[in-house]
Structure 1
Amino acid sequence: MYQPKDSSKSPRFCGVRTFMRLEQIKTTDHIDFAVLGVPFDTAASFRTGQRLGPQHIRNFSSLLRPYNPDMDINIFDYCSGVDYGDIDVIPGNIHRTYDNMVSELTPLLKKNVTPIIMGGDHSISLGNLRAFHKKYGPVALVHFDSHGDTWDNYYGEKYMHGTPFRRAVEEGLLDVNHSIQVGMRGPLYSPDDIEDARRLGFEVIPMREARKIGFEEVIKRIHERVGDHPVFVSYDIDFVDPAYAPGTGTPEVGGPTSFEALEYVRALDGLNLVGFDLVEVLPTYDSNEITATLASAIMYEMITLTALKKKKQLLQPAGEQVLQASKE
């Protein structure tokens, strides 16, 4: 069983920085989740520096503790997890980076380990989805973002941080009939910037609509859309209003508060969650580590969902456990 150091016995400023003070080890044995970094940012279109996001999040995550009072669970009563380290990226070469990602994630997925992945810019999601497709086939996507990231190209380039989900649809990696995007807002080039995602098959709830219909209705739509399909969650930190997450590359005002940002993740409990990524944290613009504070908390809630899923599986009768395993 792998779990964090006890910060009541070992001060948080001691030791090498890992996420939540987990042991840093590359293993697929006896673990339920693995935290990984993908420090790649050469597909960003405006500000860069997201390559430093994983270490920035890790640095602040030492404040996290094993018991989650909001979800009433001690994570490590049900889960074992490690900080798996960073996937080696190739700066300036997104295609070789994708190959490395698939190679590194595949052994974890074969062992039914849930990857919790830190970017990096949002282009990394395509590499993640290629790996998940090898295990699950087309997966459902729950995508929290202020941008749809379904553009066809930037500057004639097909592989940028604004294009990963169009490429994922084209490659057959996503079950779009069970996928949903939430939070889109801000100025656009044309109505097609939203409508293209719908034409690709996504359900889209822009932020203004989310405010109008209310949080509970948004969550209801997410659960109805996804059903019991294996689902990958992609969370761009610019989903959150820049007052609460200033450290990002393309901020858009009018987003959720930090409390709401966490509630959106917590409300995914009950879905068939198989993996997560959190992207676009940019330390240079993160005054007082506001963004790192929130990003580490969002990842903590993602890990909590893994623990809740494990708890429910352990409490299931043996026959239902076999059925659940067959779905995965």
Structure 2
Amino acid sequence: MKYQPKDSSLSPRFTGVRTFMRLENIQTTEDVDFVIVGVPFDTAASNRVGTRYGPQHVRNASVLLRPYNPDQDINIFDYCSGVDYGDIDVVPGNIHRTYDNMVEGLMPIVEKGITPIIIGGDHSISLGNLRAFARKYGPISLVHFDAHGDTWDNYYGEKYMHGTPFRRAVEEGLIDTAHSIQIGMRGPLYGPDCIQDARDLGFEVITMSEMRKLGQENVIKRIHERVGGESPVFVTFDIDFVDPAYAPGTGTPEVAGPTSHEALEYVRSLKGLNIVGFDLVEVLPAFDPTEITAGLASAVAFEMISLVALKKRAALEMASK
């Protein structure tokens, strides 16, 4: 049995329960290649809160998506089956119990080799995601699109905040930093060590200023050279990677970022990497009254699903040779 969205040319988009892309809402690991999972946790945010409503906001915008991706020339559901798995039961105000729930909820998916597209929530959720993947794969490569490195040691003396997950992940041995890269960092900082700390942890870091000088093609080349084609990769995409002119609905916006078109091209360019999971975080509906952020976020998730389909197609073509 294959799961795919309702056909919006036959069934109006405004009907039915809101799921991502109008997929079936079912918790199953049978006959699926990808699942959409929400993690509506935001009590590790340092500025605006409200990203707990991000998963439902992105789902609402995603009803406009259709199955064929013209930029990648693939009909997703010719190769993939997928469902909206629902949300992890988070514990507001208790990040550690939330992490435990995340690992418990994600492990049945990860163990079966199903690719989850995880929608947050603030960026602290990435630590829970990486804990689950490291149980299966060991230290994993990370491709990180963001305006901020999120490698601070603490916020307000707290070690587990949305600005600290990747430092904690390195300390816990979850990330293979030698094959990991952060892209898009920009904006005022507390000091030069804010960028250097990530490099000292082993990450390659390409700031926004460096991205503009290098050009998109060269940045994409650097990503592939750094990560390689064999090691398992987790992709994390903070919506504030994109300039707030295109994505105002986020908690810590930083000006002078990529356009929405450039952001989608970066995700598309990850074709060929051995991606085993994704997360998309920091969508804040209260600051997105026209839903342009949600529209972009749903498009990013669609491109992530397209990468799953492309990987499946490539494997089928290889097997037929």
- TM-score, length basis structure 2: 0.99
**Superposed, which structure 2 residues align to 1:96-115 within 5 Å?**
96-115=97-116
Report the counterpart of residue 291 of structure 2 in structure 1: 289
**Superposed, which structure 2 residues align to 1:127-146 within 5 Å?**
127-146=128-147
**Superposed, which structure 2 residues align to 1:156-305 within 5 Å?**
156-227=157-228, 228-305=230-307
* 2:286 is aligned with 1:309: no
Q: Which amino acid is 2:274 matched to?
A: N
* Cα distance, 1:191 vs structure 2: 0.2
* Cα distance, 1:287 vs structure 2: 2.8
SS in 2 for 1:212: helix
- For structure 2, list consecutive stretches of 5 or more residues without a partner in the other structure: none
Q: Which amino acid is 2:24 matched to?
A: E
* Cα distance, 1:295 vs structure 2: 0.2
* Cα distance, 1:307 vs structure 2: 0.3
2:198 & 2:219 partners in 1: Cα distance?
Answer: 18
SS in 2 for 1:121: coil
Residues 53-83 of structure 1: per-residue CA shift (max 9 Å, x gap): 0000000100000000010000000000000
Residues 95-152 of structure 1: per-residue CA shift (max 9 Å, x gap): 0000000001000011110000000000000000000001111100000000000000
Tell whether the 8 Å contact from 1:246 to 1:287 is kept in structure 2 after alignment: no
2:104 & 2:112 partners in 1: Cα distance?
Answer: 14
1:137 & 1:306 partners in 2: Cα distance?
Answer: 21
1:81 & 1:317 partners in 2: Cα distance?
Answer: 22
1:268 & 1:69 partners in 2: Cα distance?
Answer: 16
Q: Which amino acid is 1:66 matched to?
A: P
Which deviates the most, 154-163 or 308-317?
A: 308-317
1:135 & 1:12 partners in 2: Cα distance?
Answer: 38
1:135 & 1:192 partners in 2: Cα distance?
Answer: 33
* 2:25 is aligned with 1:20: no
* Cα distance, 1:317 vs structure 2: 2.9
1:317 & 1:212 partners in 2: Cα distance?
Answer: 41
- For structure 1, list consecutive stretches of 5 or more residues without a partner in the other structure: 321-328
Q: Note the aligned Cα RMSD (angstroms).
A: 0.8
Report the counterpart of residue 324 of structure 1 in structure 2: none
Report the counterpart of residue 323 of structure 1 in structure 2: none
2:317 & 2:135 partners in 1: Cα distance?
Answer: 29
2:6 & 2:112 partners in 1: Cα distance?
Answer: 25
Report the counterpart of residue 153 of structure 2 in structure 1: 152
2:182 & 2:60 partners in 1: Cα distance?
Answer: 30
Q: Which amino acid is 2:123 matched to?
A: H
Tell whether the 8 Å contact from 1:142 to 1:234 is kept in structure 2 after alignment: yes
Residues 205-258 of structure 1: per-residue CA shift (max 9 Å, x gap): 000000001001100010000012110000000000000000000000000001
2:317 & 2:118 partners in 1: Cα distance?
Answer: 27
Tell whether the 8 Å contact from 1:150 to 1:163 is kept in structure 2 after alignment: yes
Report the counterpart of residue 30 of structure 2 in structure 1: 29
Count of aligned pairs between the two proteins: 319
1:113 & 1:36 partners in 2: Cα distance?
Answer: 12
**Superposed, which structure 2 residues align to 1:32-47 within 5 Å?**
32-47=33-48
